[in-house]
A = this chain, B = another copy of it.
Amino acid sequence: MVAKLIVLYSNIKDPEKFDEYYKNVHIPLAKKIPGVRKIAVSKVKGVALGKANYYQVVEVYFDDIESLKKASESKEAKEASKDGLALDPNLTILVTEEV
């Protein structure tokens, strides 16, 4: 079953600057993580229900949970994660598996 890291960015102060950096620096770093099959970036346009201040939700796809776990231990993943945290100190990364 497909596994995904779901990455939640919130509280972005300068969206324009963030978007440019994300596209030109962060995505290339994330693409280096071994086993990554696809990266889907979604901008939050509104909150239909509940309370949340997310700016962006990113899904990083792997073939399965084993590939994801193995990839998480790579130096490339640690670098991407460090870069993500510099963008958003409140960064949340969920490890998920599709059912």
B-binding residues in A (CB < 8 A): 3-6, 8, 40-52, 54, 57, 65, 72, 81, 84-85, 90-99
Residues from chain B with a CB closer than 8 A to the CB of A95 are 44-48
Could you give 30 example pairs across A and B, Cβ below 8 Å?
Answer: A3-B45, A6-B57, A8-B50, A8-B52, A42-B96, A42-B97, A42-B98, A43-B99, A44-B94, A44-B95, A44-B96, A45-B65, A45-B95, A45-B96, A45-B97, A46-B94, A46-B95, A47-B92, A47-B93, A47-B94, A47-B95, A48-B94, A49-B81, A49-B93, A50-B91, A50-B92, A50-B93, A51-B92, A57-B94, A57-B96
**Copies of this chain per assembly:** 2
